[in-house]
Amino acid sequence: MAKKSSLKLIPIGGLSGIGKNMMVLEKENQIIIIDCGLMFPDEETPGIDFLIPDFSYIKKNKEKVKAIILTHGHEDHIGALPFLFKEITAPVYATKLTLGLARIKFNGNMEDDAFPYHVIDTEERLDIGPFNIEFFRVNHSIPDGVGLIIRTDIGTVIHSGDFKFDHMPIDNVHTQFSRITRAGSEGVLALLCDSTNAEEEGYTLPERDVGKTLMEKFDIAPRRIIIATFSSHIHRIQQIMDVAKKYKKKVAISGKSILKTIRISSDLGYLNIPEDTIIPISRIEDFPLKDIVILCTGSQGEPLSALNRMALGEHRRVGIMKGDMVIISASPIPGNEKTISNTINMLLRQGAEVFYESIAGVHVSGHAAREEIKMMINLVNPKYFIPIHGEDKHKTQNAQVAVSVGVDEDHIINAQNGDIIKMNMNMCRISGNISPRTIYVDGIGMGNIEDIVLKDRKILSRNGIIFIAVVIDSKGKRLLYYPEFVLKGIIFIENFNNIIQEANNIIRKAVDFCFEKNMLESGIIENLLKDRMEKFIFKKAGIKPIISIKVLIDI
């Protein structure tokens, strides 16, 4: 009898923060990948568009990759696919809506033969090498989400996907509890469980509760209503459309991403737009203000989003008016709290009435709270429990939930990105780490930006930069001209002229010192001047700007 090989799980992303979700399952030299998402930047990554997983391990083992399986269509699960397909090509399996949203990520730059895809039939199992995969539908904040039951010869692994238990879903598609329960009764080796909302007690509220709140707000709105939400939150968009129709209002849409999502989800039958409800944004002035609803992007305070441009007074079509009701129907992604707060403050200063998650019930989560996680664990009854999708604090809380319902603490694997989780019928442990790097996408560039680059960007944003040009006569061993100072992004400095005069004297003495020591190379002189200027500016002004010095030597 052939020896059964162990199973390796390698989280490439998703276990050290919110986003970049990507899990590798490897057995018998064959790999399947679950999800391939991106992560949005925070204030610690200035100038970065987003972050993606490090595909080095995938590239190294690309011949082993047999399939990419997507659990649902959110950016943190599908957004990095175009970058992965620059490195490898493999069949993609997903439900109809998820595939539709994934394909528009390529902006028409991928032909079907370069993006081989298969629509998942949740009524059928999928055999890929040593993996037999069954799907179960889950509730989330986007339709067509699935979890995976992955059977192998050493046992079954369940991947929850992003889930919550909503007993009154907007699309009337319920979680397939029977499949989860059946797998649990057969025996489950490991459960990989969503941790995003594990800090929250009780149950996550149903999506329909937001619809009730929206009706209340529509009922009291004196003038125009502006609603910002995630572009992929199709259930939320559906409720906005339905409430607008009930109140006989017209909906105008602002934001490319939300327009794309509405088009594809409507074409595929996942969004039912009431007749005569949507109007072009160019026609909003043709209707009374009280009849207009503007649905837009910007729920995370993104700098180029429609809502932020409205708040800044830079939107081409919409200027905020006194009496506008603005509803931000989303929760902040960790790291975005300050940018959202800034947007809210700007809207309030312009006279808008603003409703957001912490003061009004205009958003509910798409992720399971503690009682739902307990229910998932009890249905599955896993031997091992692996928290996924979250920061350390979320995974720790998820682990505590598992212990509270009887999972052996020694059987909980609290892993990080890159950990190699090795398991067989009698063992599950972390055996190493592939050391994934942080990969940034910055404009059209992509790569591992060194810490020094991000450090420089932070310094530039906080303390500015000083350019100093110095021209030296090497024969006469003297400065030809007074040094020229150019300051950018520097706040007001008291006694500025006196400080510049002192700086000139320091530069002159430093240049004399270089000539005395016969140090005549421009690079050596620049380094010495930079060191002395950094110490001087900090001593006099208490700031640490970037200092760039150029020494020109007249021979």
pLDDT in tens, 528-554: 888 888 888 888 777 778 888 888 887
Query: Where does the pLDDT of residue 452 fall: very low under 50, low under 70, confident under 90, or very high at 90 and above?
Result: very low
Residue 358 has pLDDT above 70, yes or no: yes
Residue 310, classed as helix, strand or coil, is helix
Are residues 382 and 499 part of one domain? no
Query: Where does the pLDDT of residue 43 fall: very low under 50, low under 70, confident under 90, or very high at 90 and above?
Result: low
In angstroms, the CA 543 to CA 6 distance is: 56
Say which residue, 48 or 232, is predicted with more confidence: 232
**Average pLDDT, integer, range 426-445:** 84
pLDDT at 521: 81
pLDDT at 443: 55
In angstroms, the CA 555 to CA 543 distance is: 36
Are residues 330 and 374 part of one domain? no
Are residues 192 and 79 part of one domain? yes
Angular region, 39: left φ>0, alpha ψ -120 to 50, beta rest: beta
What's the mean per-residue pLDDT of the chain?
89
Residue 447 has pLDDT above 60, yes or no: no
- The answer to whether the CB of 56 falls within 8 A of the CB of 10 is no
Query: Where does the pLDDT of residue 113 fall: very low under 50, low under 70, confident under 90, or very high at 90 and above?
Result: low
Map 324-353 to HEC letters.
CEEEECCCCCCCCHHHHHHHHHHHHHCCCE
Residue 65 has pLDDT above 70, yes or no: yes
**Average pLDDT, integer, range 132-151:** 97
Measuring CA to CA, how many Å separate 304 from each of 169, 387, 535? Answer: 32, 34, 38
Residue 95 has pLDDT above 50, yes or no: yes
Comparing 26-40, 60-74, 296-310, 380-394, which segment has the lowest mean pLDDT? 296-310
Give every CB contact of residue 388 below 8 A, 6+ residues apart in sequence.
11, 14, 15, 21, 23, 159, 160, 192, 193, 194, 195, 395
Are residues 284 and 152 part of one domain? no
pLDDT at 236: 95
Residue 196: closest CA among 372, 339, 378:
372
In angstroms, the CA 81 to CA 94 distance is: 13
Are residues 435 and 390 part of one domain? yes
Say which residue, 463 or 174, is predicted with more confidence: 174
Say which residue, 552 or 62, is predicted with more confidence: 62
> CATH number, domain at 260?
3.40.50.10710
- 72, 140, 159, 367: which is the annotated catalytic residue? 367
Residue 338 sits at φ, ψ, to 5 deg, of -70, -40
Are residues 308 and 183 part of one domain? no
pLDDT in tens, 114-138: 678 999 999 999 999 999 999 999 9
| Residue where one domain finishes, among candidates 355, 378, 405 | 355
Say which residue, 430 or 333, is predicted with more confidence: 430
- The answer to whether the CB of 56 falls within 8 A of the CB of 443 is no
Are residues 423 and 323 part of one domain? no
Long-range contacts made by residues 514-520, C-beta under 8 angstroms, separation at least 24? Answer: 515/477, 520/474, 520/553
**Residue 262, in any domain of the structure:** yes
Residue 457: closest CA among 440, 469, 474, 472:
440
The residue type of 269 is G
Measuring CA to CA, how many Å separate 223 from each of 45, 287, 357, 547? Answer: 39, 11, 21, 52
> CATH number, domain at 15?
3.60.15.10
Are residues 185 and 291 part of one domain? no
- The answer to whether the CB of 224 falls within 8 A of the CB of 321 is yes
- 35, 144, 166, 194: which is the annotated catalytic residue? 194
| Residue where one domain finishes, among candidates 355, 388, 410 | 355
**Residue 493, in any domain of the structure:** yes
Measuring CA to CA, how many Å separate 168 from each of 142, 173, 293? Answer: 14, 9, 26
In angstroms, the CA 159 to CA 388 distance is: 9
pLDDT in tens, 303-343: 778 999 999 988 989 999 999 999 999 888 777 788 888 89
**Residue 314, in any domain of the structure:** yes
**Residue 360, in any domain of the structure:** no
Our answer to whether residue 315 is catalytic in this structure is no
**Residue 1, in any domain of the structure:** no
Are residues 12 and 119 part of one domain? yes
pLDDT at 441: 78
**Residue 2, in any domain of the structure:** no
pLDDT at 509: 87
| Residue where one domain finishes, among candidates 309, 331, 355 | 355
**Residue 306, in any domain of the structure:** yes
pLDDT at 338: 82
Query: Where does the pLDDT of residue 508 fall: very low under 50, low under 70, confident under 90, or very high at 90 and above?
Result: confident
pLDDT at 485: 83
Q: Copy the structure tokens of residue 547.
A: 């200092």
Residue 450 has pLDDT above 50, yes or no: no
**Residue 331, in any domain of the structure:** yes
In angstroms, the CA 43 to CA 150 distance is: 38
Query: What domain range is 427 assigned to?
Result: 7-202+365-447
Our answer to whether residue 76 is catalytic in this structure is no
pLDDT at 491: 62
Q: Copy the structure tokens of residue 310.
A: 């409205």
Residue 462 has pLDDT above 70, yes or no: no
pTM of the model: 0.80
Comparing 375-379, 448-452, 495-499, 528-532, which segment has the lowest mean pLDDT? 448-452
Are residues 288 and 423 part of one domain? no
pLDDT at 367: 96
Are residues 242 and 133 part of one domain? no
> How many beta carbons lie within 10 A of that of residue 213, not counting itself?
19
* Tally of domains within the chain: 3
Are residues 159 and 25 part of one domain? yes
